[in-house]
Amino acid sequence: MDRLLKELNFRDQLIPAVIVEADGGGALTLCYMNEEALRKTLSTGVIHLFRRSKGRVMQKGESSGHTQRVRELRIDCAGNSLLFVVEQRVAACHLGYGSCYFRRYDSRADALEVVEQRVFDPTEIYGEEA
């Protein structure tokens, strides 16, 4: 992984990773990786991230089983971000939507609207605290 690390710029030990679905499926989410999360992602073939709110590395979908299998890794021109093309199991968002970007902003009305259908019920997956 030396060649890759040489190209990347971590800030506060983190680098943002855009996650998009394979076969033109669109953007699913954005997460952050530290070197450990990146190593685990590459060695296991499934996305691991550094969850800033918990201060630790986790497998994406650790509790839900909604994992993301890596098909391809791209890096940007400046080495400031990663782009993973993945195969998503079930859905990316913990609120039950396929993508975390399920809300569209209408700037004229200054309003947010949900523009995706829920694909699972979060309370069934995560319990009532979801």
Count of CA atoms in the C-beta half-sphere (13 A) of 39: 7
How far apart are the C-alpha atoms of 32 and 10, rounded to whole Å? 10
In the region spanning residues 18 to 37, those forming contacts with a second copy, defined by CB under 8 A, are 18, 20, 24, 26-27, 29-30
In the region spanning residues 39 to 58, those forming contacts with a second copy, defined by CB under 8 A, are 42
CB of 109 to a second copy, least distance (A): 9
Site for a second copy (CB under 8 A): which residue of 13, 56, 63, 104? 104
In the chain the first and final C-alpha atoms are separated, in Å, by 37
Q: Is 107 exposed, middle or buried (0-12, 13-18, 19+ CB in 10 A)?
A: exposed
Among the residues of the chain, which ranges form H helices? 2-7, 35-44, 122-126
CB closer to a second copy out of 18 and 90: 18
**Site of interaction with a second copy (CB under 8 A):** 1-4, 7, 16, 18, 20, 24, 26-27, 29-30, 42, 72-78, 80-81, 83, 93-95, 97, 100-105, 107, 110-112, 115
